[in-house]
Structure 1
Amino acid sequence: MEFTVICEKFDGDLKAIKMLSVGIIEESTMAINLCHKFLKILKSKILQDGFENKMAEIKFFKSIKQIPLMPLIYYSEIRSFELQFPKGNVDCQIEHIKKKINKLNRFFLINLDFIQYINSGFKHFDEQYFTREFLEDYHITSSNFYFQDSDFATSRDMLLGKVDAYNKFIIYLQNRLIHKNVSEINIQSGSTTNPKLKWTSSKSALTELIYALHHSNVINNGNVEIKEIAISLQNSFNIDLPDFYKTYLEIKSRKKSKTKFLDELSINLISKMNKSEE
C-alpha cells in the first residue's frame, strides 16, 4: 500500500468522524484512536520497506507522518483541556482558557528559531531535523501521550507536529474564549441567544443550508468545520440535528432536486422582488 493511498484513507476516516454529531470529547477520543492506528500502519511500512534515499526519508518525516501526527497532538490537547475544564464559574473558565493560550504563546516563543526555519521554507537543516541518523545528536521533544518511538522518530518531527497542532489549537481556544465571553454577557443581562427564533421547516431543509454555507466558504472565509456551523445554527434556531450527516446522504440520494429547500428560497425571494415592483 502506497503512502498516498494510506493518507487518503486516513483523511476520509477523519472527515467521517468530524461529520458525526457527537461531543468534542468523544470526537477527540475517536480521532486519537484513528491517528494511532494509521501511525502504526506507516511505521510498519517504513520498517519493512525502508527508504530509497535521504530525500525520501526527509519527505516522510517532514510531510507524510505529519498527516496523522498533527491531528493526534491537536485532539490530544483538546481532550485533555476539555476533561480538565472547570465547571460552573464563568470567570474561572475564562481564566483557565487564557492561561492555556499564554502557555501556548510561550511555546511559540521558545521555539521561534525552528518556527521561522519552517515558515521560511528553509531546507539546509532538513537532514539533521528529519532523518533518524541524527536522532542522538538532537534533543527529542517528548510527551507522555503523543506517539513516540525511537525507530519511528527524528529529532524534530514531533516538534513540527506540535507547531502545526498548537497553531490550530490556539484558534480553538480563542473561539472558546469568545463563546464564554458571550455566555457571560447573556447571563449578566438575563437573556439567552435568540430565544424567539425557532426553525419551523424540516431538518433536511436546515441540513441543506448548513452544507451550502460550508461549501460556499461564506463563513470565516471557509476556515470553519461544518460541525461548527451545524452547532451554531442548531443553537440559534432551537432545533436538534442528531445525525445531520445521515440526512445529508439522504439528500444526495434524491432522484429529483437535491437542493429542494435552497431552490424554494430562491424562488420565493425572486417572487417577492417581482411583486414589489408591480
Structure 2
Amino acid sequence: MKSLNAIISEIRIKEDQVSRETSHLIDEAYQMTLYLKELLNTTREYILKEGFKTPAEEIEFFRDIKPQILGQLIYYNKIFRIETVCPVKDGKMYQKFFASQLGQLKQEFKEHICGSHFYRYYRSGRSDRDEEYFMRGKINYRDGLNSYVFEIDNQFSTYYDSKVARIMANELIYTYLLTKINPEEHSGSLLNTPESTKDIFWTDSKNALIELIYALYASGVISHGKIGIRKITLVFQILFRVPLGDVHHSFHRMKDRAGTRTSFLDHLKLSLEQYMDKEL
C-alpha cells in the first residue's frame, strides 16, 4: 500500500496536470472527480485483496490515507455541482449565491461536525481511541450514529474514516467559497488579520508573487506540504489584498520563459546575499 505522502504527491501531480489541460474550473473539477473516484476504487480492490499486515497499518489507512482520497473526491464533486449552477460571474446574484453556499456550509458544520465528540477527539490529535475509530468491525451503535452507518461498506470503511474525509472536504470547500466572495470581507475569519496590517501590500508584479507561492508549494514547507496551491494562494491574496486570477495558467506560462524561469527567486537570493554582506 502506498504511503500517505505518496498518495498526496500523486494527487498533487494529477491536479497540476489537469489544471494545465483544462481552461475552466468546471472541467477541472469533473476530471478530478473521475480520477479520484477511480483511485478510490483501485485502492479498495487492493485492500480487499491484500489486507493489512498489522493493526497499526489498518489504523493509518483509515485515519490518514483513505480520508485524503475521499475528502478530495467530496470536495471536487461539490465544486462541480456548485460551478454548474452558479449565476454569471460578478453582480449581486453571484455574490448572494456564494454567500448562501457559505452559509449552508457553516450550518452543516455546526450541526454535523463541530459539536461531536469525535471532532474534538480528531482535532486534539489524540490517538488513544484509534483502534475503536479506525479499525473495521469496531462500530459502537450505542453512540447514536447517523443512519448512513447501515449503508457503509464494512470491508472498506470504519464509519469514522468518512467523518475525517468530510472534515477535510469542509475545509477545502470553505476556502473555495471564500475565493468566490470578496476575500477582504472574510479575511478576519480566516487569518484574524488585525487593523495594523492594512498598510501591508504587495509592490512587485503578480507573476513575482505567483512564483513565490509555487516555490513554497513545491518545497512542501507549509503545513508539511499537505495543503494545495489554491489554499496557499488564498492566504497570500488575503494578506496582500491582491487578486491573482488563474495562478495555474500564469505559472505554466512562466515555464516557457526565455532565460531564467525563476527571475524573482533569483532576485530574492541576490538581494539577501547583498544584505548579508552589508551586515558584516
In structure 1, the residue matched to 2:195 is none
In structure 1, the residue matched to 2:160 is 156
2:133 and 2:158 in contact (8 A); partners too: yes
Residue type at the aligned position of 2:138:
F
Question: In structure 2, which of residues 256, 260, 264 is the aligned counterpart of residue 257 of structure 1?
Answer: 260
In structure 2, the residue matched to 1:29 is 30
Percent of residue pairs bearing the same amino acid type:
21
In structure 1, the residue matched to 2:199 is none
Question: In structure 2, which of residues 180, 200, 203 is the aligned counterpart of residue 176 of structure 1?
Answer: 180
Which 10-residue stretch deviates more, 125-134 or 34-43?
A: 125-134
The aligned runs of 1:64-75 (5 Å cut-off) are: 64-75=65-76
Residue type at the aligned position of 1:53:
T
Asked if residue 165 in structure 1 is aligned to residue 169 in structure 2, the reply is yes
Residue type at the aligned position of 1:162:
R
Q: TM-score, normalised by structure 1?
A: 0.65
Superposition RMSD in Å:
4.0
The offset of 1:135, in angstroms, is 4.4
2:137 and 2:154 in contact (8 A); partners too: no
Which whole-Å CA distance do the structure 1 matches of 2:51 and 2:97 have between them? 45
Residue type at the aligned position of 2:108:
F
Task: Name the larger-Rg structure.
Answer: 1
Asked if residue 62 in structure 1 is aligned to residue 63 in structure 2, the reply is yes
Question: What SS does the aligned partner of 1:250 have?
Answer: coil
Which whole-Å CA distance do the structure 2 matches of 1:260 and 1:91 have between them? 40
The aligned runs of 1:222-237 (5 Å cut-off) are: 225=230, 232-233=243-244
Which whole-Å CA distance do the structure 2 matches of 1:121 and 1:207 have between them? 37
Question: What SS does the aligned partner of 1:121 have?
Answer: coil
2:211 and 2:264 in contact (8 A); partners too: no
In structure 2, the residue matched to 1:274 is none
Residue type at the aligned position of 1:257:
T
2:211 and 2:251 in contact (8 A); partners too: no
In structure 2, the residue matched to 1:116 is 120
The offset of 1:7, in angstroms, is 5.0
Q: Map Cα deviations across residues 20-45 of structure 1 (whole Å, 9 max, x no partner).
A: 45211111001111111211121111
2:74 and 2:166 in contact (8 A); partners too: yes
The offset of 1:177, in angstroms, is 1.6
Which whole-Å CA distance do the structure 1 matches of 2:16 and 2:154 have between them? 30
1:25 and 1:82 in contact (8 A); partners too: yes
Change (3 A) 1:233 1:168: closer
Which whole-Å CA distance do the structure 1 matches of 2:208 and 2:147 have between them? 44
In structure 2, the residue matched to 1:199 is none
In structure 2, the residue matched to 1:196 is none
**How many residue pairs align between the two structures?**
229
2:71 and 2:165 in contact (8 A); partners too: yes
Change (3 A) 1:257 1:103: closer
The offset of 1:9, in angstroms, is 2.9
Q: TM-score, normalised by structure 2?
A: 0.65
Q: Which runs of 5+ in 2 are unaligned?
A: 186-204, 237-241, 271-280
Change (3 A) 1:57 1:160: same
Question: In structure 1, which of residues 129, 150, 173 is the aligned counterpart of residue 133 of structure 2?
Answer: 129
1:28 and 1:76 in contact (8 A); partners too: yes
Q: Map Cα deviations across residues 27-73 of structure 1 (whole Å, 9 max, x no partner).
A: 10011111112111211111111012222111101101122211111
Change (3 A) 1:227 1:248: farther
Which 10-residue stretch deviates more, 13-22 or 86-95?
A: 86-95
In structure 1, the residue matched to 2:275 is none
